[in-house]
Structure 1
Amino acid sequence: MYLPKAFAIDDLSQLHELILATRLAIVVTHGEHGLQASHVPVLLHREQGPNGTLYGHLAKANPQWKDLRDGAEALVIFPGADAYVSPGFYPSKAEHGKVVPTWNYVAVHAYGNAETFSDGGRLLDIVSTLTNRHEAGRAQPWSVDDAPADYIDGMLKAIVGFAIPIDRLEGKRKLSQNRSTADIAGVREGLSASPDLYDQALAHLMPKE
């Protein structure tokens, strides 16, 4: 990831929080079939390894799991909020006109070599934990235990689990830090006034005076 110093996130706890806030990650590998990518929910175990360990699963019918099995380095992308930044947001536009559009965004990239496994107990733990995480807050949360045990056993046989100890983490928070205080305020106000929820989410992350 292109990472100018002004936009870099160096704090491990902040990187972990951004990972945890991402509902769907992108797992990218390169192997026998070239580049492959899958969109999957993952779990972060912060305490495992210096940077944490990621857990998830792929369908056994998805050939990408073989890249992970064969030792290919994986890149796991955690996309955060993003928004188009119009030059019209900048007060400096009226001063000199030397402005162009850009894009503000937050993202984390995690790199590591995976272990794959098909052990039913480990797979059940991952599936149950993911389910409980995303069912939390519902009036009547669904549990893996709600389904027949033999049905769940059959579903577990159709997936492959993976664990990726994170060797390297990169985080980027591009929030107009390279602009003047007035321009930053203009972007924040412009995005806050937008009817688009993604714009509003990005505005909420921008620094305030």
Structure 2
Amino acid sequence: MIETISRCIRYHRCGFVFLILQVTLMLSLLEVRIEIEATPGQQTFKTRMYAFLDPMDLLYSPLYSGFAMGAMFYGYGLLYLRSKGPLEGFLSRLRSSAMSVWQKCSPLMILPWCIKIVQGLCVVPVCLWLCLFNENLPQADHFVLLALLAIVLWLYVLTLAITSFILAMRLNIRLLRIRTIGRSDHELRAYAQGINELLGFEMLLVN
């Protein structure tokens, strides 16, 4: 069973990374708030935990994850444009430009995803910090329990976010290294130059 899962992950690595990015983003969009409220007709205070999820943020979340996945595709998909026909020269230059931009700027594609994650992770610490200045905090019931629950959830999302970021960046770095051919292997350099001439643009970088 474990071998089947690991084999499936290897064959569908990009889909697995997208799934992790999307799940992490959805969990970070879950806005957890802790409030201390007075009990009606009594002199006690209760701690309540609320969880909010904006449907619009949830609807647009795949766009952020998909944009982050753009860092893992050569030339942002323009590589697969057919260059035959009257626009052959223009499409070849377009693909070459896309590869050049991808080589230099692809890690920035994950930046909007990171911003959304950081915004979601900031909610719980700010909420707990504000609760500490509440004058009714010593009389509030179950504050410590709910605060610990919120912290555990926050740490889980933080760990998942760091893991997702590392997975995405490692995959991007691996793709960048695959494109580069070193100077030592002359046969491989000649083979790479032949591929570039056949494609009409610099698919592989030869140092």
User: For the superposition of Structure 1 and Structure 2, which TM-score range results when normalised by the shorter chain?
Assistant: under 0.3
Kindly indicate which of the two structures has a greater share of residues assigned to helix. Answer: 2
Kindly indicate which of the two structures has a greater share of residues assigned to strand. Answer: 1
Larger radius of gyration: 2
* TM-score, with length taken from structure 2: 0.23
